[in-house]
Amino acid sequence: MSGPLAGVRVVELVAQGPAPFACMLLADLGAEVIGIERPGTQRHAPDAHSRGRRSVALDLKQDAGREVLLDLLADADVLVEGFRPGVTERLGVGPQECHARNPALVYARMTGWGQDGPLAQRAGHDINYLALTGALAAIGEPGRAPVPPLNLAADYGGGGMLLALGILAALHERTASGLGQVVDTAMVDGVGLMLAPFHAMAARGQWRERGTNLLDGGAPFYRVYRTSDDRWLSVGAIEPAFYRAFLDVLGLDPVSLGEQLDREAWPAATARIADVVATRTRAEWEQAFAGVDACVQAVLELAEVPEHAHVRARGGFTDVHGTPHPAPAPRLSRTPAQRPDPAEPLGASTVAVLAALGRTPEQVHALCASGAAGVPAEREPGTGVLA
């Protein structure tokens, strides 16, 4: 293992969404991540979030499977779980049991609503957490329904990113105290943090109906425009110098559009700009703005991104068994992240991990035969070799 987190062992009770994303980030940065999955689980197709970790199949509802997990945690640095509050306690692997086995363990929890509160036990998804925080109400066109911004904001930004940060903070604190702690990460908390500047704007009376504000598409200099070939051009020319450069390439007189920050002038200015942008293709506008500092960028489709010159120059994607994956980030100069490994088959590391914990081949066979542990279907239980 290489990278700044080399030597850190993370045990993940595999769930969905933000917790696997956080574990992907840790694995990319060099942590050893061991994913615990139930034998016979019907997986989603492996994706980028599955990369970089080993797979061990354990049934935690069986005493023998639970004991293997606790033995594994005795020498681990972090446990990550993304279930509803109380699930791991009912399984007998809650913070109390795990800290009894390893007081230095960082017990990291990922939920949508948090570990407590009136909604703690309610089901939810990204769109619901955005709804409660006010983020969803702020995204979209005026007079129309709010627009869900994929599941990036709550799941991965407010959830997975914050979870990874909390884990690193707890690991850092442990260097002084020698003790682990529980990290309670909730997507509603994370989205709330990201909304801090917008709450401040609203408190000052500077936030109006969605789609009419400076940063939500209301301003003619901060929105997207359709090109003649039905593609899109993004414009973020907030600063006056960039706005002037933008209008200069379009051949528009700034005076004729009114003052840049005059909200009353925005609708007419937007219509004028849209008419001009619609006269050329996206590629023609890319050429026109090449080398011009106007904060203008073509809107790329997902399939176009890996081949873009800037992305290629920075090595923004890496090949993982024939599939393009976004490369690990951030980039560190002295301890760079490693190239990610593909996802393992379910239970591919069960035998190796059990052996490292001191289980004999006979014990491994018995665990697999009872269903407390599992290996890939083509592997002979207890031997670690292909059948």
Which are the catalytic amino acids?
A: 125, 155
Cα gap 182→31, rounded to integer Å: 19
**In b/e form, how buried is each residue of 212-227, taking b as 16+ CB within 10 angstroms?**
bbbebbbbbbbbebeb
For residue 67, CA distances in Å to 56, 60, 74 come to 14, 8, 11
The CA angle 69-74-78, to the nearest 5 degrees, is 80
With vertex at residue 70, the alpha carbon angle to CA 54 and CA 68, rounded to the nearest 5 degrees, is 65
Distance linking the first and last C-alpha atoms of the chain: 29
- Please name every residue paired with 137 in a beta bridge, in sequence order, or none if there are none: none
Cβ(9)–Cβ(3) below 8 Å: no
The Cα–Cα gap between 158 and 329 comes to 17
Structure tokens that stand for 62 in this block:
């069986």
